[in-house]
Amino acid sequence: MRKLARAAVPLLSAATALLLTATTASAATYQSSDRWASYTSGSYTIYNDEWGSGYGSQTLWANSYKDWGVYSTQPATSGVKSYANVSRSIGKSLNSLSSATSTFGVTLPGVGDWEAAYDIWLNGSSYEVMLWMNKHGNVGPLGSSIGTLTLDGRTWTVYVGNNGSNPVYSFVLSGNVTSGTVNILDLLKWMQNTKGYFSNPTLSTVQFGFEISGTNNTQQNFTVTNYSASAS
């Protein structure tokens, strides 16, 4: 908690940031408040994706796959309300890949219940792998922890669960980050070769975005400032 003597400067900065974000959104190439809004940029598609029960209002704005965001107002109730995300189809078998990486950069609010996370799909929608890069508030992954994994200089707590339709494997990063590069292939190879969760599945889709459960019923801004995903 900040001391009162220093509050004036952060508050001014927050107000300025809010104004800049609103200006960016209003001047964006694309903008929509439709719950299923989408925007295609090159080989990527950006989705508003307000799919959860009891969702509030959310506006998607986009200039490109590496310059987009949402301003979201969600009630402080349980359950995921939306997963605004940038998605790229890969469609290659795991064993055929020599590289699968993604680089991201985000700006995030300090209010609400949410995480900035990858959602990676194998064999269509047969297997779901989530990588939690940043989280805030009362959120947690599906399933139970099976321990920690340190790989490529990062430590993750690994959870295994099932949503009723498919198994879900979640990697929750130890310590929040707002930018970086993730070696997706190494994580998937560990799941296959060390844990035996699957055998040479197709890496179908890589998504990255903001899974929002609530924003305390106030408008909060989530922005992607840099992004790429590739597999070869």
**pLDDT, mean of each 10-residue run, the chain (232 residues):** 31 43 72 98 98 98 98 97 98 98 98 98 98 98 98 98 97 98 98 98 98 98 98 98
Distance in angstroms (rounded) separating the CA atoms of residues 32 and 106: 20
The overall pTM is greater than 0.85: yes
Which pLDDT does position 202 carry in this prediction?
A: 98
Sequence spans of domains, the chain: 4-231
Which pLDDT does position 63 carry in this prediction?
A: 98
Regarding the domain delimited by 4-231, which CATH topology (the fold level of the hierarchy) does it fall under?
Jelly Rolls (2.60.120)
Instruction: List C-alpha distances in Å: 229 to 114, 164, 223.
Output: 22, 28, 17
Which pLDDT does position 12 carry in this prediction?
A: 38
Per DSSP, 197 falls in state S
Instruction: List C-alpha distances in Å: 47 to 28, 62, 114, 154, 232.
Output: 15, 10, 17, 28, 24
